[in-house]
Amino acid sequence: MQAIALTELVDEILAGPAPLPLVRAGDPVLRRPTPRYEGELGDERLDRLVRAMREALHAAPGVGLAAPQVGVPLRLAVVEDPAEVPPETAEARGRVPLPFRVLVNPSYTPVGDGAAAFFEGCLSVPGWQAVTARHGTIRLRGQDERGNTVDEELSGWPARIVQHETDHLDGTLYLDIAETRSLSTTQDVLERWAQPTPELAARELGFTLPRVRAR
Ligand code: NI
Give the Å distance between the CA of 126 and the centre of ligand 1. Answer: 10
Q: What is the pLDDT of residues 39-88, one digit of tens each?
A: 999 999 999 999 999 999 999 999 999 999 999 999 999 999 999 999 99
The average pLDDT across 117-131 equals 98
Q: Is the residue at 29 inside a domain?
A: yes
Residues 6 or more apart whose CB falls under 8 angstroms from that of 127 comprise: 185, 186
The catalytic residue positions are 165
DSSP for residue 70: G
Give the Å distance between the CA of 96 and the centre of ligand 1. Answer: 19
Q: Is the residue at 212 inside a domain?
A: no
Q: Is the pLDDT reported for residue 118 higher than 90? A: yes
Q: Is the residue at 179 inside a domain?
A: yes
Give the Å distance between the CA of 168 and the centre of ligand 1. Answer: 7
Question: What's the confidence (pLDDT) of residue 210?
Answer: 80
Domain coverage including residue 26: 3-205
How many domains are contained in the chain? 1
What CATH number did the domain enclosing 163 receive?
Answer: 3.90.45.10
Q: What is the pTM of this model?
A: 0.96
The average pLDDT across 25-44 equals 98
The mean predicted confidence, pLDDT, of the chain is: 96
Instruction: Say if CB 115 and CB 133 are below 8 A apart.
Output: yes
Q: Is the residue at 210 inside a domain?
A: no
Instruction: Say if CB 67 and CB 81 are below 8 A apart.
Output: no
Q: Is the pLDDT reported for residue 31 higher than 70? A: yes
